[in-house]
Structure 1
Amino acid sequence: MDASGGTLTALFTDLERSTALWERDPVAMRAAQHTHEVALREVIEAHGGRVFKTTGDGVCSVFNDASRAVAAALECQRRLRTEPWGTAVPLRARMAMHTGVLESHGSDYFGRALNRVARLLAAGHGGQVLLSQTTADLAAESLPAGAALRDMGTHRLRDLERPERVLQLVHADLEAEFPALRTLEAHPHNLPIQLTSLVGRERELGELRELFDRSRLLTLTGSGGCGKTRLGLQLAAEMVEGFVDGVWLVELASLAEARLVAHAVAGAIGIQECGGEKPLQGVVSGMQAKRLVVVLDNCEHLIDGCAELAEQVLRKCQGVRLIATSREPLGVGGEQVYQVPTLALPTNGGVAAANASPAVRLFVERARLSRPEFAVTEQNAADLSSVCRRLDGIPLALELAAAKMRAMPIGLLSSRLSDAFGLLGNAGRGGRGGVVGGTPHHRTLEAMVGWSYQLLSGEERLLLRRLWVFAGGGGGGGWSIEAAEAVCNGESGVERSAVLELLTSLVQKSLVVFEDAGTAGRYRMLEIVRQFALERMREEEPASEGALRRRHLLYYLRFARGCERRLSGPDQGACLARLGSEHDNVRAALDAAAMPGIDARHGVRLATSMSQFWYIRGAAREGRMRLEDALGRCAGEGGNLHARATNAAGVLAWMCRDLETAKRWYEKSLGMWRGLGRRDKEAALLSNLALIAAETDVEESVRLNGASLALYEAIDDSTGTARAALNLGVLELRTGRLEDSLRHFGVALSVFERAQDALRQAITLENIGEARYRQAKLAESRAAFVRSFTIRSSLENHEGLAQTAMWLGMLAHRLGDAGASAALLGWSESQRKRIGSQVPPDVQVEHKRELEECRRSLGTEKFDSAWARGAGMERQELALLVAAEPSGVVAQMGASGVCYVGGNTRCITGQTYFHLVA
């Protein structure tokens, strides 16, 4: 074949479990490996391909024609299946193909297509042949006789880039069934999609893998723009298979206080924030039994908080590994520090040196985003080398410079950079590149960002200076176009009608990043650009900062209040998602509300409006801290706002199991509402106080709830009546008055359905399911639990899902399907471990009994297998299991089927109630 670059199909192979085979029989394995390589090379070359690299356990080859690559892969697998290996077990190879633009460098090839095929190969199993969508499209019309392609769905590979549709080659001569692909979806994680590929970091990743294996705290240090975050994320993605409880990114850039670090970790991992422990203790307790990786990104401004967390985790959580990115080490015993270097620079101005340089490779790849034809040539190699050396191989600086290629040729870019950097002198170095963190590198990046800023129009500069006010990062940071138009407008601001066009221009210049989030795209700035924008605003218009923070605060106050009003109706799920996407901005707005010169009542309003979100999403500790701080700045205030806020504070304290404080807040709120003559709010507070009483005095709880219900009925408040009826029904359920409880649940459910209040429907249905379960009306019980599960799933109500799945698992065993029971109980337990919750005390005995009976029904081996299968299920697979009818339904339940365990008073815990936010 033609050895030059171009659009080529890469075929990679890899032997499965080769390390174990080498350890078992190195002599036989050495001979088998030689036979394997010779056989593959013969087949590949016979089909017009070229082997350009061997890895010991596999080969890397390229083809001009995708269909020839597919035919070669099929024949390679046939050959491997029939070869007499002489090893203890036959050799099995996984294979993968992807088509893209590759460039040749001597006898080697490079290009992002090779990274993609390597990640696709890592997703497969021995004997399996995988194709990317691109290769499949090219080869589909010319497949070998008897061959077909099976669609395996869309998957995220470990390069963190866009999802890839994966296809499997199917033929009678090949194995057909394999375990699930080893992609990111197979493991719990929250790693974000990366819009661009990781280039030129092969050596660094290899070094980091070795350090990760030796240390439980690995800190990547260096100044802004050197690529710490991208390297850390890639390292974490590569470790996902070894940590059953997942890999979790915690973005810290937008946090202003060290005490919020534990809250951020809890939110990222999904540890439920409840119980009487302090936030750090709760997070550490929630991780003690887990095997997971936590990536703490941008620690430098929260060193004390991150160091305290890391120290506790290293001492108490043996299965947890930490990857930190920071401009300085955390200073914790056992910390392994890795200083991230710049990208290696070309050793001279020639083509060969440029092609070999990771810095040039990154620049060229990013330049191709706007100029697809751009490549290294004899004519531009010297200028390319000059640009990369001038920018010291700093990744962010190279990306900003590459964005200029949209409007100027490389020669002009080189000369302009020389002019712009003239005062700095030549900071470039030959060889691999220096360690980022010294003054020259910081000055180089600062100059590059500054030059990019100078090239902007006046309106673009003004908008960039305004955008710093939005919280950085993803997962609650960044901003929407609506937010930018509202906040960056105003006196001396940008015209609302011009914001979208200006934002688009900033994206094209790589100063702002656009992320397509389905129907609502979001924008964000890298933290170093954000800090530059803040500094420029303080230099050029120092009087604007306070006004900008105030506009940001008022926008998110309006936003949160608008969402709050819709949290009890049909838009509940969408509002929860929107609040989640803006959580970091809300945090920033709450910080602004605490500043001098800003009305402190804004903080009370915002925290109160967020209280239901914090309650539903299990972030009660952070919410409680935020709301109590805001109330503390408005001591002695009264009126509607503080009556609402003190009730919300009581709800959050109750979620944290601080019942005495919750009662004090409720009583304070009750007194305010009575003084204001609000009987509807008085009824809500009586119901909330009833829930506090239920912990120790059920009779008093029933009395208070009855008073609440009577008051709601007297003022003809149907919604309030339904909420009080729900809570009263739960008390009746707990004391064995099942028919009374079902009557009250029926009243509540009909109102919640008319109001399209999804969360309260789910809570009520779960209680109906439990009541029917205790009456041995199992079909009706199952129908209620399935509806509750479906609703909770749509709301991402994690603790509720674990609870409902537990009931469905116990019910499945009663219905004769022990396999489904074990799987559902396994999934429920895995979720409880992840979020740090427990089986409620009042059903622990029952739960344990069902587990033991299910294990006896299946036998230990089958039970353990079904339990493990359930624990590893993705939500979609679990939903199919929940929806399926039990396979062994018991048609008639006798007296032995009654599930209720007697007793007059039982501890009342969990989320079967709903506190009323007055």
Structure 2
Amino acid sequence: MAPQTAPARQNLPVESDSLIGRDRDLSDLLRLLEADRVLTLTGADGVGKTRLALRLAAQATAFFSDGVWLAALADAATRAEVAARICGALGITEEGRRDPLETLCDALHGRRLLLVLDGVDGVAPHVAEIGARLVASCPAVSLLTTGRDPLRIRGETVWRVPPLPVPPSAEGAEPAADGAMRLFLDRARTAVSDYAEAPEELAAVKRICRRVDGIPLAVELAAAWAGRIDAERIDAGLAAALESAGADGEGNGFPRSRVLDAVVGWSYGLLSGPERALLRRLSVFPNWCLELAEQVCADAPPTEQGRAEPPLAEAEVLDLLSALLDRSLITLTGEHQNRVRYRLPGPVREHARARLAESGEQEAVRVRHTARMIAVAEDLGGVALSSHAMPWNERFSYWDRALAEYDNLRTALRWSARHGRVRDGLRICAGLRPLWFTGCQFTEGREWAETFLAMDGGSQADDDGGPSTDALRGKAMVHLVELSWPRKRFDEAAEQVSRGAALCRPAGDVASVCLAKTLLAMLAAVRGGDAEARRLVDEVLELARSSGDLWHEAIALNVEGSLNARAGAFAEAEGRFNTALMIMRGMDHRWGVGTTLMAQGAVAEAQDDAQTADRCYREAMDIHRTIGAFPELAACLAGVGRIASRLGSAAQAYDYLGESLQLSHTTGQRGGVAEALASIARVAERQEMATEAARCAGAASALLETSGWSGPGSPRFPLSADTSGAGTSDETRAWWEEGRRLALEEAVELAASVAESGRMPRTRPAPSPSSATPRTALTPRERQIAQLVGEGRSNRAIAERLFIAPATVARHVANINRKMGFNSRQQIASWVTRHALSS
């Protein structure tokens, strides 16, 4: 059996402390979430919307068979970013020719899940558009969003999150009766176990809670100073801060945002000079690790007035971070690559940003931040395709680091675009090319490249020792064509890649010239100019070999191998692929090895060399599963499944093909679904399941046409599939056309049903449909499922109705087909109608 990848049920962060004072809210919200598909938690900043939403989502996991998924949108700025963050949270891979929202809707159409969209304020119109589309097209998807205001989409239920209850002015109330009081004491007693046991201290804590109006973040910020400052001094300090902000000393009737900002300002004022300097500089980060904070925030940059504060030494940063963490001014978000990650709560970050602007050091800190992001991007770009031998884990760690800093990279790109720093933006874009391409993040990569290519020279001169702006533009043009390949605008691509190469040549950018010529060769091949394509590939090989560029030499060999295979020169193709594979293995470039093996497996499969094809596909499958390259993994699974069928193991073939089908479907790859459907059709045809084979082939044909798919995530190694149907009879053509009319979900369910039926032993002739009556032939559960099939319900709908898994429904449907001699749901429905079967 194919090794299955067990899907996760949620991606929620681990909560670091308790949620206090929200028990009744949680109970009411859980009931709302069961009944309403769109629930928005609104309220002032710091009131606890995110914490409440995360706890609610965690408790609602049992309601959603396909899990609960968090997409943090607080730092998103564009529609493409919103879509990319949602797709990333759900593990959905972008299709190059389609709007990511369309892919998202298709992938989620039949899934029952909760999508948590946190911090939508800055992108509310985009979230409203995406949310409305999801609600309209995905009947089992629910949304839980947080923001200051409602989204105002159809069916939205709005829950305004109130502050925590505060103690009454009259004495005698128990601390446990007031949420704000309980929260303060809980946080304070983590530092001082017997804090506020004296009556006068309790009275001061009550005044503090009333003064900050029960705003949870304000309460926590005040409580964080317990143990250093007594309760009376905390109360007096807050009273003075609120009075200075224009409040009446208790915050009554004063806007909560102003109350919270005053509390943050009070806490900021209690910090030491180095702590204040670090906090305001940290505001440039969406999130960060210690190393990044040391690189960007240490050594105070000069202010606009030419003065410099006492230098902040790199060695001090860790202790200062710990102090700020103790003051609740920063929070932990988790760990990545053995590095602890931090972030600033939204209101704290806003206050720190304002202080950074006042300090006159904002531009200098931003420049340092951008410089670090350029280094991260260029490290990735330099190592990902480097010809030097390097352990794969070490090479892959650069991808992983870029993913960890992706929000920071986006921030640097936005700041560079806003301030006309074209060179900085182009350098980041060039470095991120491997991440965007292998991760199928085509839309976002294209948008950033187009943004900087459309700008004039900007405010930066070519005096930083790096490539010239023209050379960077040329590189970006070539990369843009690669990212735009799935859109198949070949005339436009040819012109742009030629202009890009012309800018790269004078700068001696051999790698970009090699890539440009490789793309031109592929464009020539698409247009039928194989001779021109071969000439260009030869030029790439000569240039790559003369410069020692092993990566582009291997890529050119792969393209040449594909051209030979297309011409039927399989021996020559095999030779090119073997040489490319030797180069990739020598570099220990696993992604390159995997994609080369896939091309080699396809050639072996075309020659009916099942053993070689199976070996290639299986090794590539293990590589792509390890590195998480899902489109490539799905293609490998399909290849292994097809070969298993040729080797006589239909059950094993269906196992692998079923995993390929489900992986492509859940990650939003219609082309991958089509490849799996076509492969299942071939296996079914060998089993003489002519009707279902033709229907699967028809569905695959329609999907291939609309998806424009040309291979698993890469234009270099297209896989072909014969999806024209089996045979030419009128009946077969009718089945094929019926398959073409199936919706995506219906096609997937059809293939799953065929796979279940095909796994059954077929040693005895199937009984005639009229040789058994419904009640004697089927079990009670099978009769119940047959009745629901007769009503036109899908496997998923039946599963939800009967509280069983869709896979269990598929097995029952397969048993019904086997027992009754059927091979389609339509036959089951007709039979149910004839016999008036009841459940």
1:39-50 superposed matches below 5 A: none
Q: What's 1:797 paired with?
A: 629
2:63 aligned with 1:231, yes or no?
no
Within 1, Cα distance between the matches of 2:383 and 2:671? 31
Within 1, Cα distance between the matches of 2:498 and 2:162? 59
Within 1, Cα distance between the matches of 2:195 and 2:649? 62
Deviation at 1:229, TM superposition (A): 1.0
Q: What's 1:581 paired with?
A: 404
Q: Which amino acid aligns with 1:563?
A: L
2:262 aligned with 1:447, yes or no?
yes
Q: What's 2:95 paired with?
A: 274
The answer to whether the 8 A contact 1:483-1:555 is kept is: no
Q: What's 2:325 paired with?
A: 507
The answer to whether the 8 A contact 1:726-1:913 is kept is: no
Within 1, Cα distance between the matches of 2:67 and 2:533? 42
1:704-783 superposed matches below 5 A: 704-713=536-545, 717-783=549-615
SS of residue paired to 2:158? strand
Q: Deviations over 1:595-621 (max 9, x none)?
A: 33x532211111111111111112111
Q: Deviations over 1:485-530 (max 9, x none)?
A: 3345333363333222212211111101234515211221111110
Within 2, Cα distance between the matches of 1:726 and 1:285? 33
Give the number of the structure whose residues are more often strand, by fraction: 1
Q: Which amino acid aligns with 2:439?
A: R
2:521 aligned with 1:690, yes or no?
yes
The answer to whether the 8 A contact 1:460-1:506 is kept is: yes
Q: Which amino acid aligns with 2:291?
A: I
Deviation at 1:285, TM superposition (A): 4.3
Within 1, Cα distance between the matches of 2:524 and 2:65? 40
Within 2, Cα distance between the matches of 1:627 and 1:677? 21
Within 1, Cα distance between the matches of 2:488 and 2:579? 29
Deviation at 1:468, TM superposition (A): 0.8
Within 1, Cα distance between the matches of 2:526 and 2:709? 6
Q: Out of 142, 148, 155, which is 1:321 matched to? A: 142
Q: Alignment length, in residue pairs?
A: 669
Q: Which amino acid aligns with 1:789?
A: M
Q: What's 1:494 paired with?
A: 312
Q: What's 1:544 paired with?
A: 361
The answer to whether the 8 A contact 1:810-1:821 is kept is: yes
The answer to whether the 8 A contact 2:251-2:259 is kept is: no
Deviation at 1:819, TM superposition (A): 4.8
Give the number of the structure whose residues are more often helix, by fraction: 2
SS of residue paired to 1:250? strand
Question: Could you state the TM-score of these two structures normalised by the residue count of structure 1?
Answer: 0.67
SS of residue paired to 1:405? coil
The answer to whether the 8 A contact 1:481-1:522 is kept is: no
SS of residue paired to 1:785? helix
Q: Out of 331, 338, 355, which is 2:159 matched to? A: 338
Change (3 A) 1:748 1:367: same
Q: What's 1:672 paired with?
A: 503
Change (3 A) 1:354 1:844: closer
Within 2, Cα distance between the matches of 1:603 and 1:643? 14
Structure 1 window deviating more from structure 2 (650-659 vs 770-779): it is 770-779
Within 2, Cα distance between the matches of 1:201 and 1:856? 61
1:376-775 superposed matches below 5 A: 380-410=201-231, 412-422=233-243, 424-425=247-248, 427=250, 439-471=254-286, 477-489=287-299, 490-491=301-302, 492=308, 494-517=312-335, 519-538=338-357, 540-541=358-359, 543-568=360-385, 569=390, 570=392, 571-596=394-419, 598-634=420-456, 639-674=470-505, 681-697=512-528, 699=530, 700-713=532-545, 717-775=549-607
The answer to whether the 8 A contact 2:433-2:479 is kept is: yes
Change (3 A) 1:912 1:371: same
Within 2, Cα distance between the matches of 1:765 and 1:825? 19
Change (3 A) 1:844 1:258: closer
The answer to whether the 8 A contact 2:380-2:434 is kept is: no
Q: What's 1:196 paired with?
A: 17
Change (3 A) 1:419 1:769: same
Q: Deviations over 1:97-140 (max 9, x none)?
A: xxxxxxxxxxxxxxxxxxxxxxxxxxxxxxxxxxxxxxxxxxxx
SS of residue paired to 2:71? strand
Within 1, Cα distance between the matches of 2:157 and 2:260? 26
| Uncovered stretches (5+) of structure 1, i.e. residues with no partner | 1-179, 430-437, 472-476, 861-905
SS of residue paired to 2:69? strand
Q: Out of 656, 663, 671, which is 1:824 matched to? A: 656
Q: Deviations over 1:573-626 (max 9, x none)?
A: 211111111111111111111133x53221111111111111111211101100
Deviation at 1:214, TM superposition (A): 3.1
Q: Which amino acid aligns with 1:604?
A: L
Structure 1 window deviating more from structure 2 (577-586 vs 671-680): it is 671-680
Structure 1 window deviating more from structure 2 (774-783 vs 758-767): it is 774-783
1:143-154 superposed matches below 5 A: none
Within 2, Cα distance between the matches of 1:805 and 1:687? 28
SS of residue paired to 1:324? strand
Q: Which amino acid aligns with 1:550?
A: V
Within 2, Cα distance between the matches of 1:680 and 1:575? 19
The answer to whether the 8 A contact 1:392-1:428 is kept is: yes
| Uncovered stretches (5+) of structure 2, i.e. residues with no partner | 303-307, 459-467, 693-707, 718-839
Deviation at 1:479, TM superposition (A): 4.1
Within 2, Cα distance between the matches of 1:386 and 1:339? 25
Q: Which amino acid aligns with 1:331?
A: R
Deviation at 1:415, TM superposition (A): 4.7
The answer to whether the 8 A contact 1:487-1:548 is kept is: yes
Within 2, Cα distance between the matches of 1:712 and 1:233? 52
Within 1, Cα distance between the matches of 2:579 and 2:322? 52
Change (3 A) 1:307 1:237: same
2:31 aligned with 1:221, yes or no?
no
The answer to whether the 8 A contact 2:120-2:147 is kept is: yes
Q: Deviations over 1:636-679 (max 9, x none)?
A: 98643222111111111114544444333222223334555666
2:627 aligned with 1:784, yes or no?
no
Within 2, Cα distance between the matches of 1:465 and 1:622? 30
**What is the percentage of aligned positions where both structures have the same residue?**
30
Deviation at 1:736, TM superposition (A): 4.3
Deviation at 1:767, TM superposition (A): 2.2
Q: What's 1:252 paired with?
A: 73
Q: Which amino acid aligns with 2:362?
A: E
Q: Which amino acid aligns with 2:524?
A: A
Within 1, Cα distance between the matches of 2:546 and 2:162? 72
Deviation at 1:351, TM superposition (A): 7.8
Structure 1 window deviating more from structure 2 (699-708 vs 511-520): it is 699-708
What's the Cα RMSD here?
3.3
Question: Could you state the TM-score of these two structures normalised by the residue count of structure 2?
Answer: 0.73
Q: What's 1:142 paired with?
A: none
2:129 aligned with 1:298, yes or no?
no
